[in-house]
Chains A and B, each alone.
Chain A
Amino acid sequence: KAGVTQTPRYLIKTRGQQVTLSCSPISGHRSVSWYQQTPGQGLQFLFEYFSETQRNKGNFPGRFSGRQFSNSRSEMNVSTLELGDSALYLCASRTGMNTEAFFGQGTRLTVV
């Protein structure tokens, strides 16, 4: 059974650009959540999608957005990149609420 796949694994972008990250959940998992990990703030919740609907959003500016497609694959987008957006972005898939979370390997974004 394939795990959670995140692409790309590494990304370097320039300030002001935008970026799109992709997450393919485990087959049959309808919940996808996104997290940002930085050395200073640790792991922080970005948003969670279930069956194409955003159910919850963390405390991040509107430059951070996401969506989920009918096949449960999810994308997150960050517009007008800032240096502080440099982080490891992780997604996790679950079958539903209160079930085990399976994480992808993450996308390491560097903004220069």
Chain B
Amino acid sequence: KNEVEQSPQNLTAQEGEFITINCSYSVGISALHWLQQHPGGGIVSLFMLSSGKKKHGRLIATINIQEKHSSLHITASHPRDSAVYICAVPLSSGGGADGLTFGKGTHLIIQP
């Protein structure tokens, strides 16, 4: 079973700062997901990536498959980026199982 470690658990930063959230997993995967959860519960998918780097607006996600590590970066952070960011990977590397296992999340607060 895949284990996911995320860091930091909590992060408070000033508006405009460059933010990095890290995720490590234990078993080889086909793809990794970065998710965002705002108060109230709804989860939004930010990225799904299996190699290299993806960019969407001010968000950048990278993954190193060999090192089993991924990072989520936020450039020019804004108070509206305040949320919980969650890394998720498939439960196992075997075929057939399609559930996800999650990191504990990074609670990000961007202060004006």
Contact = CB atoms under 8 A, between A and B. Distances in A.
Interface string A83-112: 000001010101011111111111010000
Interface string B56-94: 000000000000000000000000000000101011000
Contacts of B50: 98
Looking at chain B's contact residues, the main secondary structure is loop
A21 to B, nearest CB: 14
Contacts, number: 69
Contacts of A97: 30, 95, 98
Given A45-B91, A88-B41, A33 B100 contact: yes
A77 interface: no
B102 A43 contact: yes
A99 B101 CA distance: 15
Interface residues on A, range: 20 to 34
B50 to A, nearest CB: 8
B43 A90 contact: yes
Contacts of A45: 91, 99-101
Interface of B: 30-31, 33, 35, 40-45, 48, 50, 86, 88, 90-91, 95-105
- 7 smallest CB-CB distances across A and B, nearest first, come from A45-B99, A103-B43, A43-B102, A56-B97, A106-B41, A105-B42, A100-B48
Interface of A: 31, 33, 35, 37, 42-45, 47-48, 50, 55-56, 58, 88, 90, 92, 94, 96-106, 108
